[in-house]
Structure 1
Amino acid sequence: MKKIEGFDNPPVVLDDEHITIILNDLIEHHGYDFRGYSRSSLTRRIYRLMSLDKYASFSEFRFRLKYDAGFLNRFVEEITVNVTEMFRDPTFYQTLRRDILPLLATKPLIRIWHAGCSTGEEVYSMAILLQEANLLHKSLLYATDLNPAVLNTTREGIYPLTQMKGWSENYILAGGVRDFSSYYTANYDRAKLDSALAERFVLSTHNLVSDRSFNEFQLILCRNVLIYFDKPLQEKVLQLFDDSLESLGFLALGTKETLKFSAVAHKFQQVERDQKIWRKVA
Structure 2
Amino acid sequence: MDADFDIELKLLLEGVYLKYQHDFRHYAVASLRRRMRQAMTHFHCNTLSQLQDRVLHEPQVFAEMLRFFTVQVSEMFRDPAYFRALREHVVPMLRTYPSPKIWVAGCSRGEEVWSLAILLEEEGLLERTIIYATDINPDALRTAEAGIFELDQMAGYTLNYQQAGGTRSLSDYYSAAYGSAIFRQSLKSQIVFADHSLATDSVFSEMHLISCRNVLIYFDRELQDRAVKLFYESLVHRGFLGIGPKESLRFSPYARAFLEVVPGQRIYQRT
- The CA deviation at 1:54 is 2.2
Q: Residue 65 of structure 1 is aligned with which of 34, 44, 55?
A: 55
- Whether 1:45 and 2:35 are equivalent positions in the alignment is yes
Q: Which moved more, 1:113-122 or 1:68-77?
A: 68-77
Whichever residue aligns with residue 194 of structure 1, its letter is: R
Q: Measure, in 2, the Cα distance between the counterparts of 1:249 and 1:45.
A: 35
Q: Measure, in 1, the Cα distance between the counterparts of 2:46 and 2:199.
A: 32
Q: Which moved more, 1:50-59 or 1:157-166?
A: 50-59
The equivalences for 1:186-201 within 5 A come to 186-201=176-191
- Whether 1:56 and 2:46 are equivalent positions in the alignment is yes
Of all paired residues, the percent bearing the same amino acid is 41
Q: Secondary structure at the match of 1:36?
A: coil
Which segments of structure 1 move beyond 2 Å, counting only runs of 4 or more? 56-60
Q: Residue 247 of structure 2 is aligned with which of 253, 257, 261?
A: 257
Q: Measure, in 1, the Cα distance between the counterparts of 2:4 and 2:19.
A: 21
- Whether 1:159 and 2:185 are equivalent positions in the alignment is no
Q: Secondary structure at the match of 1:213?
A: coil
Q: Measure, in 2, the Cα distance between the counterparts of 1:252 and 1:56.
A: 41
Alpha-carbon RMSD = 1.1
Gapped runs of 5+ residues in structure 2? none
Q: Measure, in 1, the Cα distance between the counterparts of 2:196 and 2:147.
A: 20
- The CA deviation at 1:79 is 1.3
- The CA deviation at 1:44 is 1.0
Gapped runs of 5+ residues in structure 1? 3-12
Q: Measure, in 2, the Cα distance between the counterparts of 1:16 and 1:161.
A: 40
Cα-to-partner distance string for 1:27-79 (whole Å, 9 max, x where unaligned): 11111110110111111111111023321344432221001111101111111
Q: Measure, in 1, the Cα distance between the counterparts of 2:12 and 2:122.
A: 47
TM-score with structure 1 setting the length? 0.94
In the comparison of the two structures, how many residue pairs are matched? 271
Cα-to-partner distance string for 1:220-276 (whole Å, 9 max, x where unaligned): 000000000001110111001000001000000000001112111111110122110
TM-score with structure 2 setting the length? 0.97
Partner of 2:127: 137
Partner of 1:84: 74
